[in-house]
Chain A
Amino acid sequence: MTLLRIENLKKAFGDIHALRGVSLSVEKNEIYGFIGRNGAGKTTTLNILMSFLRKDAGRIIFAGEEIGFLDVAYKKKIGFVPDVPAFPPYLTGREVLTFAADFLGIHENKREKVEEALAFSGLKDVRQKVGTYSRGMRQRLSIAQALLGDSQLLVMDEPTSALDPVGRREVLDLIKRLKEERTILYSTHILSDAESVADRIGLIDKGKILLESPMAEIKKTKDLTAYIVQTDLPVEELAEKLETEPFIKETKAEEDGLLCLLSGEGAEKRLLSRLSGLDLTVYKFVEKTPSLEDAFVEVLHENAR
């Protein structure tokens, strides 16, 4: 069942067309990875979705109903996690959540729900004011306040981008724990994060959706294979010799050799035959699962052509 559908969303800032007809749909109880480069249009889309910004054209349909600007009933059903959350520094985490519960009109079992959210985010025993929180703690608090009120959809705008590795891991763990329970629209430019949590991916670039596909299918769709090749030649030299081949989409130096991203039928055989034609000794020729990043680069290349 589709929970959120965005249709032909357009937004321009003067002469700059930030969104050129974005359409996507988020199914119930899935984590939708909304990926793209910085400036691709992710935050503008989410800002319009949250009514922080007016759209120029297009429709937002949530649970079958079209949503207007600053729709109060709709906002009760969604939670928002920004990239760098900011709360009044003179409040404690508990006070922030109590305010959030009050804003959402939660009266029944308010205290229990606040405590539950604090426990979920690992902030139950933290008594200090938010001003003294680390970025990771603030982000966890942000997730906790977005979860209050049993929101049907969590909108997360690059929630890990400003965090150190420890904070990032903590936040990703929280998101993984929410899997199956909530629908999440998760925007990020960190592809490995999206890869680790998302069920489906929407790739946006220059204000347009280039690809929307289940995570498991995305690499297949792009007909991508990757091989690690190790020879007696230095990787840079090997890369130079292989880069001109049309079936090799990209090469990248890795710790254990040269990663060759291949596309097209029989590409691996063609690579082997090319290697045998070169005057070198092959030590390693191992298939590697292509990453989301590989697929992402391939889609961008395709689109640029």
Chain B
Amino acid sequence: MKTLVKYDLYYFLKTPKWVIPLALAVFLSALSVLSARYMNTLLEYVLRSEGIEDVTLPPVTVMEAYRQYFTNHFQLFLLVALFLGVHLFTHDFSRHHTTFLFAKPLRTPHYLLSKSLVLMLALFVSLVVGFVVFACYTHFLFGEFALLPFIGAFFVFITAVILYVQVAQLLSVLFKQFLAPLLLTLVVFFLFSSFAMFDAGIFAFLPSQLFNIPLAIIEGDTALGEVLPPVVIALVLSIILFFASNEILKRRPLV
């Protein structure tokens, strides 16, 4: 297992792929604060230069920075994470490294777990660096930063990442090439995103609520009883998806 983790880490570190989530996390974090803080100023400047003087835009609050952060991360970071994930999960098959790997005494759950762990590690480290950038910028430009609620919201986002990584892994193991699992994972992603607008009845418990919960936590607009069911269901679903991936991997040709 340790060697598999090392093998997968080499994939990230010996190719420039580790730069992608890191650069994106830092970029999105900085962009979220800057655009929240200066978007109205920029708009006012543009409108005035067009001769429109009597426009009053609402005052900017720190909530706008949080909103931008989570919207950007759910829309862009998660998509790039899925892209990287599908590549990581399929490249051993599409490049025929499996004849080298599975000729060795490897256990399939270890093989899959290593890939998930390394991908999550790369994403987590990138997100933490982005977190620090976001916290510093927010504190500097708005004079405040809600550390504890943000940490809670951040981990809800991580739960969403874990779930989508497992969806990507299952589909990658099923198709073993890049394009089909990527497209299908995106379809699942967009389906779940569209469910996020419904929050009544059973929809309140579905992982699609993970899109809404982070902001609700920061706004103080949610109780633990509302947060836990979608988070727990997402984690349980991730575990089920992992074991399903393993079963599929064992039942299909490994080369």
Measured CB to CB, the residues of A under 8 A from B are 47, 50-54, 69-70, 72-73, 75-76, 78-80, 82, 84-88, 90-91, 95-96, 99-100, 102-105, 142, 145-146
Give the contact stretch, choosing among B8-16, B161-169, B226-234: B8-16
Contact with B10, one of A52, A86, A90 (Cβ below 8 angstroms): A90
Question: Which residues of chain B have C-beta atoms less than 8 A from A85's C-beta?
Answer: 99-100
Contact with A72, one of B96, B97, B105, B254 (Cβ below 8 angstroms): B105
Question: Which residues of chain B have C-beta atoms less than 8 A from A80's C-beta?
Answer: 99, 103
Q: Which of B20-46 contact A (CB under 8 A)?
A: none
What is the CA–CA distance of A91 and B15 in the complex, to the nearest angstrom?
10
Check if B106 is an interface residue, CB within 8 A of chain A: yes
How many contacts A-B (CB < 8 Å)? Answer: 79
Known contacts A90-B15, A91-B14, A104-B105: A52-B99 contact under CB 8 Å: yes
Question: Which residues of chain B have C-beta atoms less than 8 A from A95's C-beta?
Answer: 10
Measured CB to CB, the residues of B under 8 A from A are 2-3, 6-7, 10-11, 14-15, 95-108, 250-251, 253-255
A75 touches B103 (CB 8 A): yes
Q: 18 A-B Cβ contacts within 8 A? A: A52-B98, A53-B253, A53-B255, A69-B250, A70-B108, A75-B103, A75-B104, A75-B105, A75-B106, A82-B255, A86-B96, A100-B100, A100-B104, A103-B3, A103-B106, A105-B105, A142-B100, A146-B103
**Distance in Å from the Cβ of B65 to the closest Cβ of chain A?**
38
Known contacts A70-B108, A72-B105, A88-B10: A52-B254 contact under CB 8 Å: yes
A50 touches B103 (CB 8 A): yes
Since A52-B99, A96-B100, A99-B6 are in contact, a sample of 13 more A-B pairs with Cβ atoms closer than 8 Å, ordered by chain A residue number, is A69-B250, A72-B106, A72-B107, A75-B105, A79-B103, A82-B255, A85-B99, A85-B100, A86-B96, A90-B10, A99-B7, A104-B105, A145-B100
Question: Which residues of chain B have C-beta atoms less than 8 A from A96's C-beta?
Answer: 100
A70 touches B99 (CB 8 A): no
